[in-house]
Amino acid sequence: MAQQSTGNNSSLNRIGRANGSDTDNRALFLKLFSGEMFKGFQNNTIARDLVMKRTLKNGKSMQFIFTGRTEAEYHVPGRSILGNDENAPPVAERTITCDDLLISSAFVYELDEVLSHYDLRSEISRKIGYALAEKYDRLIFRAITKGARKASPISMTNYVEPGGTQIRVGSSTNASDAYNADNLISAFYDAAAALDEKGVSTDGRVAVLNPRQYYELIQKVGDGGLVNRDEQGSALQSGKGVISIAGIKIYKSMNIPFFGHYGTTYGTGSATNPGITDPGNTGSFVDVDMENARDKDTDIDGDTSGVQNDDDALHNNYGATSNFTNSCGLIFQREAAGVVEAIAPQVQTTSGDVSVIYQGDVILGRLAMGADYLNPAAAVELFAGTATKPAAFG
């Protein structure tokens, strides 16, 4: 065995050590990965900041209290004031339960890292963040759709509060009405009027559409005041031209319930398919069937293998695929839904003896959350392809 000289060794600077510590040569590398995962999550979730978000501690669910309206009356001279005789305002509650732990993970083989010419962990971290964000948004959007079909939790006689709103896009039985810009604009103004009539605040009103719907609106620049006059040229072409309709800020997402799918459905037009021609080589992620994500007590897929699946892990009712057959967009105010987080998005990774045994690391992104509707009056569902409003569920 060759003897190694120690007389002229260089002073080794291990750049992965934190504060010069000699106990963990990878400390800073792991924190870099964590930051990449959070960046991937934050850049790809839009629903988290558009609804009511609360942190859940020391409990499995969180209670949201509703108070209805009361009445004003004239005072009778000499009469004591002891409160409303009908015990108004009425009070009701909504409870949101945390679902099971949501994870996304990958194993990184150390030799692959050595041989690769790019930052392998950074790339994987972003994809883990994307996966968590995608699921996060989908559950919230389904909860908002659910709320748009519900009556208010306040149902006291003479003090009934308004419930959700469903607006038909177009007037035919073709799902292609959902891509007609004029139909969409009319639906936006109807939605704004309905929210006004139900006393919903104008602050925080937003809409989430399928990307193709959004770009149909972009092509309506100059008509109806849709274009942001500060965004022209290349900025307009990048998809930032339409900022709002009727005071409703517009977002686009591939994660809204869209005719029983996420993304875009291609094929022949019908009552449940807008009839978009497949541009070719789009990949399977463009047309994704919605999973049957209902509550824990409902076994939809008949799985008896004992493997945990969506049906077993969810403690809030997010509906089945069939519930969204004609849904094609959402307009809502932040009170429409709530999300509770028991574990905020975070990253974990193996190290030490485990890494030595497997010559690599398992990298895990995780979060624990649950979502449900709160105030139905603040939720509007757009639907097309049918004259019948989609039925309530859950």
Residues forming a β-bridge with 64: 94
Q: What is the pLDDT along the chain (394 residues), one digit of tens a residue?
A: 444 455 555 444 555 556 655 566 555 554 445 566 667 676 778 998 899 999 988 888 988 887 877 778 888 898 888 777 677 788 888 899 999 999 988 888 888 777 766 677 777 888 888 889 889 999 999 999 999 999 998 888 888 889 999 999 999 999 999 999 999 999 999 999 999 999 999 999 999 999 999 988 887 765 554 555 455 555 444 445 467 889 999 999 999 999 999 988 888 889 999 988 888 888 877 777 787 765 444 443 444 444 445 567 889 999 999 999 999 999 999 999 999 999 988 888 888 887 888 888 888 889 999 999 999 999 999 999 999 999 999 8
Q: Which CATH architecture has domain 27-67+90-383?
A: Alpha-Beta Complex (3.90)
Q: DSSP secondary structure string, 190-212?
A: HHHHHHHHTT--STTEEEEE-HH
Distance from C-alpha of 201 to C-alpha of 335, rounded to nearest angstrom? 9
* Whether the Cβ atoms of residue 69 and residue 161 lie closer than 8 Å to each other: yes
Helix (H) or strand (E) segment spanning residue 110 = helix 110-115
Please name which of 373, 368, 366 lies closest in space to residue 318, comparing C-alpha atoms. Answer: 373
Rg, C-alpha atoms of the chain: 26
Distance from C-alpha of 265 to C-alpha of 260, rounded to nearest angstrom? 9
> According to the model, what pLDDT value does residue 299 have?
42
Helix (H) or strand (E) segment spanning residue 213 = helix 211-218
Q: Could you tell me the two tokens for 358?
A: 């497997």
For the chain, the structural domain boundaries read: 27-67+90-383
Helix (H) or strand (E) segment spanning residue 367 = strand 360-373
Distance from C-alpha of 155 to C-alpha of 170, rounded to nearest angstrom? 32
Distance from C-alpha of 34 to C-alpha of 347, rounded to nearest angstrom? 6
Distances (CA, A) of 73 to 70, 85, 199, 284: 10, 11, 21, 62
The type of residue at 296 is K
> According to the model, what pLDDT value does residue 222 have?
56
Distance from C-alpha of 233 to C-alpha of 302, rounded to nearest angstrom? 53
Distance from C-alpha of 81 to C-alpha of 98, rounded to nearest angstrom? 43
Distance from C-alpha of 249 to C-alpha of 359, rounded to nearest angstrom? 49
Please name which of 151, 93, 191 lies closest in space to residue 392, comparing C-alpha atoms. Answer: 151
By DSSP bridging, strand 287-289 and strand 261-263 are antiparallel
- For residue 141, give the 3-state DSSP assignment: helix
Distance from C-alpha of 207 to C-alpha of 378, rounded to nearest angstrom? 12
> According to the model, what pLDDT value does residue 45 have?
82
> According to the model, what pLDDT value does residue 347 have?
83
Helix (H) or strand (E) segment spanning residue 252 = strand 248-252
> According to the model, what pLDDT value does residue 331 have?
98
Distance from C-alpha of 107 to C-alpha of 116, rounded to nearest angstrom? 15
Distance from C-alpha of 294 to C-alpha of 300, rounded to nearest angstrom? 8
- For residue 312, give the 3-state DSSP assignment: helix
Q: Could you tell me the two tokens for 249?
A: 């800020």
